[in-house]
Chain A
Amino acid sequence: MDPRLDIIDKRLKNVNRLVAISGGKGGTGKSLIASTLALTLSELGYKAGLLDLDFCGPSTHIILGIRGIYPKEEKGIIPPEIYGIKFLSIIYYAGDNPSPLRGIDISNATIELLAITQWGSLDFLIIDMPPGIGDATLDTIRLIKRAGFLIIATQSKVVVETVKKVLTILKELKVPIIGVAENMKTTRSPLVKEQIKTFNVPFLGEIDFDKHLEDSIGDASKLLKTNFAQDVKKIVLATPEFKLKKR
């Protein structure tokens, strides 16, 4: 018997809402949206956490410019707080080194972190997922049953086709879907809106392509001032799942 599986619900008991930022393809802005979303929720007065589950390509720490912090040990590990966000990533243990992990190792590392992390009370825990519907997604569905999925699409046909696959499997597994947000919008293409109609999931809004966004990578306060962050905030304010009574 794996004892870790029985303690995960307890570890997340005082987290009001869990949001997995997911999508079919890499490079669609999931990590940027997850990081900005956590910052925005914190700025709005919510207690927010950010969990980077992309073990093979963690990047939220780069986006937020996080270095030199480490979890505290107290009956498990306590994620350090930075910019008002409780932050947990595999980088605390792997450093800047590559993590060449197979599926079974990703599952085991996910279970371990979920079993030993004391998140405490949070309004929102944002989970940055790796692309696709592989181990991390299946484990999130299996282990974090309350997680709602926010799917990131772009107007690229290649991305839309994979997003449709993600939506299909989430629907089949009856996983809560918060909605689809369209990132890196450059034209008035209605492709994403039209293609997700058959899934009967909310279209949360558009995030315009922001050519200055790259300049704010590594600087959380600069990131919050970008047009990109303003578009993310509009989505937050318009989405019922992001409204909570503050603690």
Chain B
Amino acid sequence: MHEWALAEAVISTALKTAEKERLKEITKIKIKMGELQQIDIEIFEFALKEISQPQRPIVRNANIELETERAILKCRVCGQEWPFDDAMKGLSEEQSESIHFVPEIAHVYIRCPECESPDFEVMKGRGVWIESIEGE
């Protein structure tokens, strides 16, 4: 249920934005979910709906668009790029869960497939990110 904490953060940002922009109702929230964080979409969506119910400005009717972004890693030493789903195959369930909680833990368990360095960059697909918030 770590997804709940992230959903709460999303709604909190949406409400802050609505207040700042003087919106009465939030109509759309576009969220990107980085593959590295391995969010359980069902739980995340459920949490977003539950948390948004009682809020003011109104957010409960918002169209929430969720998009999973593929995670791409790039080695800072040799320049090799590779997708997280390749790296994930070599991880134990425990290691994968640790990355789910704190995506930076990827540097503990994943190595560049070319030169075996832990010094890589997560080019995209790290975690939860709000692309846009719309309202009226």
Residues of A within 8 A of B (CB): 1-7, 10, 73-77, 90, 92-95, 97-102, 105-106, 108-109, 112-113, 115-116, 118
Contact = CB atoms under 8 A, between A and B. Distances in A.
Nearest to A7: B9
Contacts of B1: 73-76
Interface residues of B, number: 30
A98 B104 CA distance: 12
Contacts of A115: 5-6, 9
B83 interface: no
A6 B4 contact: no
Contact of B8 (A7, A100, A109): A7
Nearest to A107: B104
Contact of A1 (B5, B17, B105, B126): B17
A115 B99 CA distance: 15
B102 A112 contact: yes
B100 to A, nearest CB: 9
A178 B103 CA distance: 34
Contacts of A5: 13
A3 B13 contact: yes
Nearest to A55: B104
Given A3-B128, A100-B118, 18 more contacts: A2-B129, A3-B6, A3-B10, A6-B13, A73-B1, A74-B1, A76-B2, A77-B2, A93-B105, A94-B98, A94-B105, A95-B108, A97-B108, A109-B105, A112-B127, A115-B5, A116-B101, A118-B5
